[in-house]
Structure 1
Amino acid sequence: MSHPIRRVTELVLDQTTVTALRAALTTTADEVVQAIIDEVPPYANALSGRMGVTIRRAVRTALGHYLDLASGNATGGDAGDAAYELGRGEVRDGRSMDALLGAYRVGARVAWRCLAAGAVPAGLPAAEVAKFAELTFAYIDELSAASAAGHADELAARGRDHERHLEHLARDLLAGASPDVLLASVQRAGWQPPVSLTAVLLPAAQARPAYRTLDPGTLVLDDLPDAFGVLLVPDADRSHLLRQLTDRTAVVGPARPWTRASASYARAARARSLSSDIRDTEDHLPELVLSADAEAFADLRARALAPLGTLPVATARRLEETLRAWLLHQGRRDEVAAALFVHPQTVRYRMSQLRELFPDLASPHRVLELTLAVGLRVG
């Protein structure tokens, strides 16, 4: 990316003045750097040793480009590009743009004092001093702007890289990757692993808006199949999380150790496929258990309720409803009658029919099978 420095005045320094200023470049650069060290705290220790040598060389180069510009021999493009890279480097070194702009302000003041002190004795007419000042400060302003652009671009690039690493980590978690793979993804993303993660499945369009209201350590993906997204919420307070999602079409899985977030996601996804009305999977564990293997559940029902298959459909349905109420109310006839809205004598008659069909109805194993078969409406 090119950042040329444009001229803002018609001033062109004569060769005598330029020669005098070039002779003082090293001294000027040293004074600029020392002033920055003294007056801008973030650079107090940053400009020593090898870094100090590098910065002094960069300052001398910038001043040299400036003199080329002031003498009409260059555009200052190289200086702008160097300032842009300096802004990017400040991000890598962990310093804010405020620190760099402060350094530029100090540098401009000291550089102008030194340049003016050299230009006037070299014969720069008093009438040209104002133009010289304008050119000097405009040059520093444009270097500042180029550095600010580099700083912003580097932050944006790092933000995009960081977001990509976080998304990659989320995909590894959903895929149930090995601990070694997960730890490598964690390190690349700079993410602090929590104790647990809770998966929240919701429409893709709602994923990012919901994400912005949750813990900043939450991981988000909004490009899952069927236009769904997922949030992986760290160490969630479940009741608080559900309240935060009140206005969302969300399914909340169980909390699981962070390396097993895929299990939380799998349960939320299964709950979503079971019913669009489920929000908290913890409230629907029986249905989820019985739907874990739909074919096995169908086989269980077919085998356990086979004796009813010999009856007319309407009769079989009434007896199944009675059996279900009898099992759920533990044989208490009046409660069964109330649940079915029938007379207790009707319950007694139907139960006599059921005992003929299921001679081992008192067997614990038979009771377990029948309870599973008729206890819940699944599918």
Structure 2
Amino acid sequence: MTSLSACMIVKNESEMLKLTLPGISNVVDELIVVDTGSSDDTISIAGSFGAIVKEFAWINDFAAARNESIMDASSEWILWIDADEYIKEEDLFALKKYLDSIPEEESGLMIPIYQCKKGELDEQGDHYSRVKLFRNNRGLRFDRPINEQVITPDGIFLQGSCWAGARIYHWGDVGITEERFAAKRQRNISMLEEVKKNNPDDFQYMFLLARNYYLAKDYSKVLGYLDEIQNKLTLPEYLYCEFYQLKLNCIKEINGEEAFFNSLVEMATKDPSFAWVIWTLAHELLKRGRIDEAEQYANSILELQVPAAAAGVDVDLESYLYKPYYILGVIYDCRQNSSQAMYYYKKALEFQYEALLANRVAELTSKEAKL
């Protein structure tokens, strides 16, 4: 079986490591932990799970610390993972087995990452895919001081196919205190503003700043960076959906519901294949009692072809396979057409289970049975 090294950078993560390292240490062939200045028991806890522990002075550069963590890795593949990222032991075994089947010419592998509360394995919330594994000894390394990326020897971002047979559960952001979240957000903003000074045309830094300012509720700053991106370059495909979600939501926060609605109408006219915009517009029409128009927009999504997954591009499947069916279910529920409402609700549940929606189906089923 293909050998695998797990490499992580940590600081003051002793309690989290007690939860995430047991499964990892039981499966990987090598565990390397780089400590960037812990004042708790992180180093001893990592060592107790058989980790090779290295100390590295923090220099405000995540890529530098990551590169230190992979420098002495000896396995065929590297899994880079954080202390607050949990992967089930059985998933890790399956992942190691899957690595045997990857063609030699492929150097990276993406796996899905789910945002969850600490200790939970929730697959219904926000998630995305990222290159978390790559072949060792091919000159691959990390670049960018923040939001570090794996790059090839010629400086190109490493891509890879996505395999959903293993999942990472990220316990770092959901459910943490506002004070800790605000501190993390401010750290990111400070680092990003600093690196942008030397990289004024780097769209990734601009977009990350927009994201972080959105979390900080500084919506004018968000729009400023989004406008700067649009003025300087062609928007990359993988940013298209999130870019306009941020922009439209900022318009809503700054100018109110009516401006948001008008912007949705304008965007839907400009790009009728933008599923997120179309279902959001359908939802807004439904709130305004314009049910027939909402139905037309929801049905128009079902006529769209679901985009094929591509390297580096997450497809917003929920906007194609859940939201339109859910909205159509609500529409027929409003019309007191129980059979049609149940049909669409069940179609939505096929894609994603929601307890409240399942309960509504049960209520309608009981109602139909009594007729």
User: What TM-score, normalized to structure 1?
Assistant: 0.19
Higher helix proportion (structure 1 or 2): 1
Q: Which of these two proteins has the greater Rg computed from alpha carbons?
A: 1
Higher strand proportion (structure 1 or 2): 2
